[in-house]
Structure 1
Amino acid sequence: MPGLRGAGAGRLSPVKRRIPAPAPARRPSTRRVTTVLAGVALALATTGCQVNSPVQTDVAYVPADGVPANVGELALRDLALIGDGSGTVVISGSAVNLGDQDMTVKIAAQADPNATTAPTGSEISLRPQEQVALASKGLQLSGVKTKPGGLVPVTVTSSVGGTTVVKVPVLAPKDYYSTVTPAPTGS
């Protein structure tokens, strides 16, 4: 090739660049290490809380003041006794006849072995598929001396379903139960 000088005139020579040496490794700051360790410790601590505590939606509970009960085709919900411990309580809650025939429901407190008088009960009739608010029917029990906050064993009998015993809470007649009071007795 004409006009080229030297033996290596047709080749490109490699570019020689100087590559800088890597920077020496820096030790992480004490503050950064402390922050990372604190974060790891917090994550481990809060993970343990979840392991030892069940998820609340997995725990069945009754979201009411009273208790539920089923006797055959009779469904009682939010069953509570409203009173102040003086002897007469009003039965509160709802009763539903889920069956296809009439039924009679009897509710009575179980006798206290230390009491001098036997408690009385109440009775109500329900048509098929009927639901009633028990407090609006004036159902009462007498001879219940349990103070608010206590539990009273109550016998619930359905004419078509049998009998069951339920521990029913006694609630004070205040707040939204302030209008649920025993009927006046004739003197």
Structure 2
Amino acid sequence: MSWLALVLGLVGLQRLGELVLARRNTKRLLARGGREIDAEHYPLFILLHASWLAAIALSVPWDREPNWPLLALFAALQLLRVWVIATLGRYWTTRIITLDDAPLIRRGPYRLVRHPNYWIVALEIAVLPLAFGAWAAALIWSALNALLLRHRIRVEDAALAPRRS
């Protein structure tokens, strides 16, 4: 098995597992009276991440050796991603769900930077293709991600604003 196949397989499984966890947390939050904000843009994130992995798979020769320092950086980003998910716990989801009585999380990575998950994902989207020499995929999907995040962060900040005061 090639390194590319192994890494893409692991990332794909990780993302699918995260979607399962996110769906479970979303259902719980909605059952507690949460409201989803701007659901229309959500499928674009699913498309972005699926097409990102497909672009890497289609543009990189399967026998290409990875750039090990960049692959190590990507692995470190996965640890940061787990830190974000663990910090938010039952409030972590891939959608924008607001729950009026939920506390704003200000510990873990959230005490250091706003929207840490978005920073991590932005780095992931650039680093993984670069680890296999796919410069075009890194640039194109980073730009697409930036456009989606620009909108999402504005919507999320507006949804959280009443609870920030």
Interval containing the TM-score (normalised by the shorter chain): under 0.3
Larger radius of gyration: 1
- TM-score w.r.t. length of structure 1: 0.21
- TM-score w.r.t. length of structure 2: 0.23
Q: Which has the higher contact order (CA 8 A, sep 6+)?
A: 2
Greater share of residues in helix: 2
